[in-house]
Structure 1
Amino acid sequence: MDLLRRKRAASRRGFLDDQFLIAMPGMKDDRFARSVIYVCAHSEEGAMGLIINQVQQMRFPDLLVQLGIMNEQEAIRLPSTARDFMIRNGGPVDRSRGFVLHSHDYTVESSMPVSEDVCLTATVDILRAISTGRGPRHALMALGYAGWGAGQLESEIAENGWLTCPANVDLLFDSDIERKYDRILASIGIDLARLSQSAGHA
């Protein structure tokens, strides 16, 4: 894939596609306290990512009804995997917009590969597929996203707002939201109790 070749080249230039951003304990912005963000796109123009460890109150069946994908009676009869599909708070920007990060075994024309294992799709096709059990093997859905202008994310990292590390697909897609922050830190050998606010990158 040409896109993946370009992404690998971007990675060599220091871009953070397919990486986790882990909020440092001193994070000044409460919206991102103890957050883990999966970076979907990063270039000279800026960056976009999804918070993966904050839960939304809205339930997936209610969202399907709201979007007109099905009526309330159909939503009641959804299989448990779809009924219990968690919706996350992806970030403070454009909170009415939905994004699905998912394994590459499912793609539609609008799907954007982020890595060899992960794609991003932002159309209702994938919601229909998930609701009928025909969706990707692994998926997470978020409303809203986190965005940075040119140079802004690099500046926040330099000021010690974030740690960065390569994304782990298992930790990305698992549903253990409560412990995700600590588990991702532990996976790169960092003990939160000892994490200095002047630490560098992982």
Structure 2
Amino acid sequence: MEDGIRVGLLLVATPQLEDPNFRRSVVLVVEHDMDGGTLGVVLNRPTEVPVDRVLPPWAELVTGPCVVFQGGPVALDNALALARLPGEDEPLGWRALDGGAEVARVGLVDLDAPPALLAPELLQLRVFAGYAGWSSGQLRSEIEEGAWYLVPAEAGDVFAGDPERLWQEVLRRQGGDLAFVSTFPEDPTLN
């Protein structure tokens, strides 16, 4: 049975999602298996930690802001990176997401590989600490309960220049009711 969730889509937190780990978050689905669960990376949580403090060899290749992003509440002591490449080649140290045209040429980077292998190919790179994870069926239940909108991604979402505005921007471009939701106040009690 198809559940509609697939690699390359975005999970956008609805205003009803109060969990501080995901409030107003935009999550890129990077792995999905209906039997094994789902992994994603929160795209709009920059930290204050400069990349050169934790991964100096990769720092000069990072797309600004040049800080580590909090990819989710799980495994915060582990880093992963997403990069966008031109062309059709799949160089060593990079694995394309299986997300179709929406996130064409965006993939996971092997941070243990020498940066020089990928440097000539990189268009954009972003480093994340941790990830978001859901067990089999858990994410589907959260979507049905109204915690998440499932929407198409664009490659630029991963490398947004103003990540704090990504939630509003993604919702606004959906049009209709979701564009209206993008205007939902940060604190509705002040309205």
TM-score tier, shorter chain, comes to 0.7 to 0.9
What per-residue deviation string (whole Å, max 9, x for no partner) do you get for residues 37-66 of structure 1? 00001111100000000012210111134x
Greater helix share, structure number: 1
Residue 134 in structure 1 maps to residue 115 in structure 2:
no
Residue 191 in structure 1 maps to residue 177 in structure 2:
no
Q: Distance in 2 between matches of 1:112 and 1:152?
A: 26
Q: Distance in 2 between matches of 1:89 and 1:137?
A: 21
Q: Distance in 1 between matches of 2:64 and 2:140?
A: 39
TM-score (norm 2): 0.78
Q: Distance in 2 between matches of 1:83 and 1:170?
A: 13
Counterpart in 2 of 1:90?
71
Residue 50 in structure 1 maps to residue 38 in structure 2:
no
TM-score (norm 1): 0.74
Offset of 1:108 from its aligned partner?
Answer: 4.3
Map 1:56-95 → 2, pairs under 5 A: 56-65=47-56, 69=57, 85-95=66-76
Task: For residue 163 of structure 1, give the secondary structure of its aligned residue in structure 2.
Answer: strand
Which consecutive unaligned segments of at least 5 residues does structure 2 have? 185-191
Which residue of the other structure, out of 18, 22, 36, is the alignment partner of 1:28?
A: 18
Identity of aligned residues (%): 26
Greater strand share, structure number: 2
Larger Rg: 1
Whether the 8 Å CA contact 1:99–1:144 is kept in 2: the answer is yes
Residue 103 in structure 1 maps to residue 89 in structure 2:
no
Q: Distance in 2 between matches of 1:28 and 1:91?
A: 15
Moved more, 91-100 or 112-121: 112-121
How many residues get paired?
173
Which consecutive unaligned segments of at least 5 residues does structure 1 have? 1-9, 196-202
Offset of 1:178 from its aligned partner?
Answer: 1.8
